Amino acid sequence: MNTLSTTFSAVGVGPVMFIAKGQRFSYSASVAGGESFLGILRLARSRNGMQSFEAVVTATAITDATTVSGSILVDSFKGDFYRWEVTAYDGADPGPASDNVVTNLTELQFELEDTIYVSPAGNDEHFGGIGAPVVSITRALALVTGLRKTIRVAAGDYAELAPLVWPTFKGVRMLGEGSDFTSISAVGASVITVTPGVQSSTWEGFIEGVNIDHSAGAAQHGITFSNASMGKKLLFHVINCTFTADASTDKSINVATHTDASNGIRIYMSGDGTQKEIEGAIYFLAKNNGDRLNLDQLWLRGVITTSADAVPMNIRIRRCMIPKGAASAGGNAAQTITSVSSYGWTDFNNDTPEVYAAADTNDFDGSHTEVIVA
Contact 133, 124 (CB under 8 A): no
Kindly report, as residue ranges, where domains of CATH 2.160.20 are found in the chain.
155-373
CA distance 246 to 279: 8
- What integer pLDDT is reported at residue 299 of this predicted model? 95
Percent of the chain with pLDDT over 70: 92
Q: Which residues are registered as beta bridge partners of 103?
A: 6, 29
Q: Which CATH number fits domain 3-110: 2.60.120.200, 3.10.20.30, 2.120.10.30, 3.20.20.210?
A: 2.60.120.200
Output the 3-class SS for the chain.
CCEEEEEECCCEECCCEEECCCCEEEEEEEEECCCEEEEEEEEEEECCCCCCCEEEEEEEEEECCCEEEEEEECCCCCCEEEEEEEEEHHHCCCCCCCCEEEEEEEEEHHHCCCEEEECCCCCCCCCCECCECECCHHHHHHCCCCCCCEEEECCEEEEECCCEECCCCCCEEEECCCCCCEEEEECCCEEEEECCCCCCCCEEEEEECCEEEECCCCCCEEEEEECCCCCCCEEEEEECCEEEECCCCCEEEEEEECCCCCCCEEEEEECCCCCCEECCEEEECCCCCCCEEEEECCEECCCEEECCCCCCCEEEEECCEEECCCCEEECCCCCEEEEECCEEEECCCCCCCCEEEECCHHHCCCCCEEEEEC
Q: Is 54 exposed, middle or buried (0-12, 13-18, 19+ CB in 10 A)?
A: exposed
User: Which residue type occupies 290?
Assistant: G
How many Cα neighbours within 13 Å face the side chain of 116? 27
Predicted pLDDT of residue 351: 66
Instruction: Please give the order of strands across the beta sheet that includes 265-270.
Output: 115-118, 150-153, 172-175, 203-208, 234-239, 265-270, 292-296, 314-318, 336-340, 369-373
Averaged in consecutive runs of 10 residues, what is the pLDDT profile of the chain (374 residues)?
78 85 83 74 89 90 82 80 79 53 74 79 85 92 90 97 97 96 97 97 98 92 97 98 94 96 97 93 97 97 96 96 92 97 79 82 93 92
d(CA 364, CA 33): 83
- In the chain, which segments carry CATH 2.60.120.200? 3-110
**340 burial class (0-12, 13-18, 19+ CB within 10 angstroms)?**
middle
pTM given for the model: 0.73
Closest C-alpha among 178, 205, 181 to residue 192: 205
The pLDDT value given to residue 35: 66
pLDDT number for residue 241: 98
Max Cα-Cα span within the chain: 95
| Pairing label, strands 355-358, 321-323 | unpaired
Q: How far does the chain reach from its first CA to its final CA, in angstroms?
A: 59
Closest CA to 299 of 179, 185, 191, 189: 179
Residue 270 burial (CB count, 10 A): 19
| Fold category of 155-373 in CATH | Pectate Lyase C-like (2.160.20)
122 within 8 A of 135, measured Cβ to Cβ:
yes
* Closest to 130 in 3D by CA, of 145, 148, 108: 148
- The answer to whether residues 344 and 323 touch, using CB atoms and an 8 Å cutoff, is yes
CB 328 within 8 A of CB 362: no
**CA 179 – CA 176 distance, rounded (Å):** 7
